[in-house]
Copies of this chain bind each other. A is one copy, B any other.
Amino acid sequence: MLLRLDPLSPTPVFEQLARQVKTLVAKGLLRPGDKLPSVRDLARDTAVNPNTILRTLELLERDHVIIRRQGSGCFVAPRTTDLSTPARKSQLTTLAAHLVTEAFHLGFDATDIRSAVNSTLDEIDFPKRKRSTS
């Protein structure tokens, strides 16, 4: 599993790593049940302290992306289904608002934004919506 770090980014290391794992899962490159490399392996491969890797894994577990089991390892969690609480709806709204206002101030218009979103969506592996795998 290849994870890359941008040492210049203001985003904390543990969060950069977590995002990349989330992306891999969203793209279907990591699937529910798949085992992640061990903390030590990840630490070595990314040249990051094991404690920082641990924080990444904690974040991912908190967000229901992985499951950690002492002695066995970390595994991609099954996609949760009971998530449609109003709190999550409001999170989605906030995320969308953030994208739109930032893109607005970068000089993009509605068409640009929609097409950027659609391009990203094309790469995502939504359940019951597979496009190429039969």
Question: Contact residues of A with B, CB < 8 Å?
Answer: 7-8, 10, 12, 19, 22-23, 25-26, 62-65, 67-71, 75, 77-88, 91-93, 95-114, 116-121, 124, 126, 129, 133
Contact B83 A111 (CB under 8 A): no
Give chain B nearest CB distance to A37 CB in angstroms. Answer: 19
* Closest B residue by C-beta to A91: B106
Contact B113 A22 (CB under 8 A): no
Give chain B nearest CB distance to A41 CB in angstroms. Answer: 22
Inter-chain CA distance A92–B96, complex, in Å, is 13
Contact B92 A23 (CB under 8 A): no
Contact B121 A113 (CB under 8 A): yes
Residue in B64, B65, B107, B114 whose beta carbon sits within 8 Å of that of A88 in the complex: B107
Contact A12 B105 (CB under 8 A): no
Contact A99 B101 (CB under 8 A): no
Give chain B nearest CB distance to A85 CB in angstroms. Answer: 6
Q: Which residues of B contact A87 (CB under 8 A)?
A: 82
